[in-house]
Structure 1
Amino acid sequence: MSKHNTIKWALGKSWHQLHPNVQRRFNRLPSEKQPIIYKGMMEHIECSRSGWLFATLTKVIGNPLSPHQGIDIPMTVQLTTRTGKKGVYWKRTYHFPDRKSFSVTSVKKDDEGRMMECVGGGFGMFLDVYALNSELHFKSSRYFWQFFRWYLPLPHWLSPGETHVIHEDLAHSHGKGKFRFSITMKHPILGITFYQTGIFEETQL
């Protein structure tokens, strides 16, 4: 099984356009015994009414979307790999006050040269990965449902919207090791369904 760095491979020559701190952050692979852990504070977690409905309906495939909202919500992100499985698993755990911790798990991997992020039930999205203004960007191009080895495209209107994730280094303003993680989902008809942004840094178990 290939253990290459999927993100670095997907960027190709554009890898060198990333901020050096972003390169260092992603120029390694976690393992089951040595996961990579980030902790931080989600300054804003927002979802529209239609976003809440998408989050509620997708509970059956493993809670890929948070139905809750809040300001300054502590969050932990754990990156790891699994024996015999492709890709890097991202587990994001939200610690909302007066609620049970809420976790979202997905896996980023490539298949025949296509970068994708998958959740439960065979659902996922193909991703365009690029560098812009020294930041790392992930943008969804199509949602799909995997049936054996086939990826069946889903209509855009059936998805929560185009997903755009930005990883921005903040060493210049918040100190060494800090970065901003932002995610926006924009539906072609319903507008912005989800928006989250916060500041994180690497930590130990």
Structure 2
Amino acid sequence: MSMEQRKAVIEKALGDKWNKLDSIIKLHYGLKPGRDAQLHLRGTMNEVYHSRIGKLFLIPGRIFGALVPYKGMAIPTEVRNWTSRGNKQAMYWHRRLFFPGKDPVIFRSKMECVGKNEIFEYVNYGMGIRLQTHAQNNALHFRSLGYVWKVGPFTLRIPNWAILGDAEIIEKAVSDRELFVDFNMVHPLFGKTFSYSGKFVIGKVIENERAKV
């Protein structure tokens, strides 16, 4: 395995800018594809929001396993990230949000680096979002460049405005064990369609243990 292949997904995308991130952000995104390792985060979403227009997309979006169909405040949330010896390209995500009186909402995805400062994050059935990455003020920023839908040998590109609008995600350090995530989607005509934000405590990396999918 080459030195480039040994790097984490976001490390490959950012290149030298990876070193500008706070250490807790590098810990979160430092799992290296091709190795069995996992990491757990626990925290609370201050708010999970969607607009009326956003709800029209969120409900069918659950077919693809994407995003969250409910609104709420102070939502307990667990995040599990892992990499696998069997996949030398991807970092996996498993999110669980616990809304009162409802079954846990599960949101799975995987991230792959596709070029300098660019990753794809895929959900089910070949649907994914293109994200531009950069480091700013020691924080990690993502900005959507559009969506892709892979169906067999074909790839359909979908602009931001055709779904929920422009997405921006910022992840920054709060302390040496806590981080803050802020995710917003804003449509050029309909305004904010979806958002969530919250603080998480990060655990230790567990090496050489295969994650239970």
- Residue pair 2:49, 2:195 contacting (<8 A) in 1 also: yes
Could you give the per-residue CA deviations for residues 39-66 of structure 1, whole angstroms, max 9, x where no partner exists?
Answer: 000011111011111111112222x021
Please list the CA deviations of residues 131-151 of structure 1 after superposition, one character each: whole Å capped at 9, or x if unmatched. 111100111111111134543
2:184 maps to 184
Matched residue, 2:74 = 72
- Describe the shift of the 1:105–1:59 C-alpha distance in structure 2 as closer, same or farther (beyond 3 A): same
Task: Note if contact 2:95-2:106 (Cα within 8 Å) is conserved in structure 1.
Answer: yes
Query: What residue number does 1:40 align with?
Result: 43
Q: 2:159 aligns with which of 139, 142, 155?
A: 155
SS in 2 for 1:29: coil
> What amino acid sits opposite 1:122 in the alignment?
G
Partners of 1:51 and 1:74 in 2: how far apart? 22
Counterpart contact for 2:127–2:148, Cα < 8 Å? yes
Amino acid at match of 2:188: P
1:1-205 to 2 correspondence within 5 Å? 2=5, 4-29=7-32, 34-62=37-65, 64-82=66-84, 84-85=86-87, 86-111=89-114, 114-171=118-175, 176-203=176-203
CA distance in 2, matches of 1:51, 1:186: 10
TM-score (norm 1): 0.87
In structure 1, stretches of 5+ residues that fail to align are: none
Q: Which has the higher contact order (CA 8 A, sep 6+)?
A: 2
Kept in 2, the 8 Å contact 1:177–1:201? The answer is yes
Specify whether residues 189 and 95 from structure 1 end up closer, same or farther in structure 2 by C-alpha distance, changes over 3 A only: same
Q: Using the alignment, how far apart are the partners of 2:105 and 2:141 within structure 1?
A: 25
Aligned-residue Cα RMSD (Å) equals 2.3
Question: Which amino acid in the other structure matches residue 84 of structure 1?
Answer: G
Counterpart-to-counterpart distance in 2, 1:32 and 1:53? 39
Relative to structure 2, which stretch is displaced further, 7-16 or 84-93? 84-93
What residue ranges of structure 2 are gaps of 5+ in the alignment? 207-213
Identity %: 28
Distance 1:183 1:59 in 2: 18
In the superposition, relative to structure 1, how do residues 29 and 201 fare at CA in structure 2: closer, same or farther (>3 Å)? farther
Alignment CA distance shift 1:157-1:27 (3 Å): closer
TM-score by length of 2: 0.84
**Secondary structure, in 3 states, of the residue corresponding to 2:31?**
coil
Contact 2:12 2:113 in 1 (8 A): no
Whole-angstrom CA distance in 2 between matches of 1:6 and 1:133:
20
Q: CA deviation at 1:3?
A: 5.0
Give the Cα separation in 2 of the matches to 1:163 and 1:55.
14
Deviations 1:175-205 (A, max 9, x none): x301101111111221111111100012379
Cα contact 2:83–2:92 (8 A) shared by 1: yes
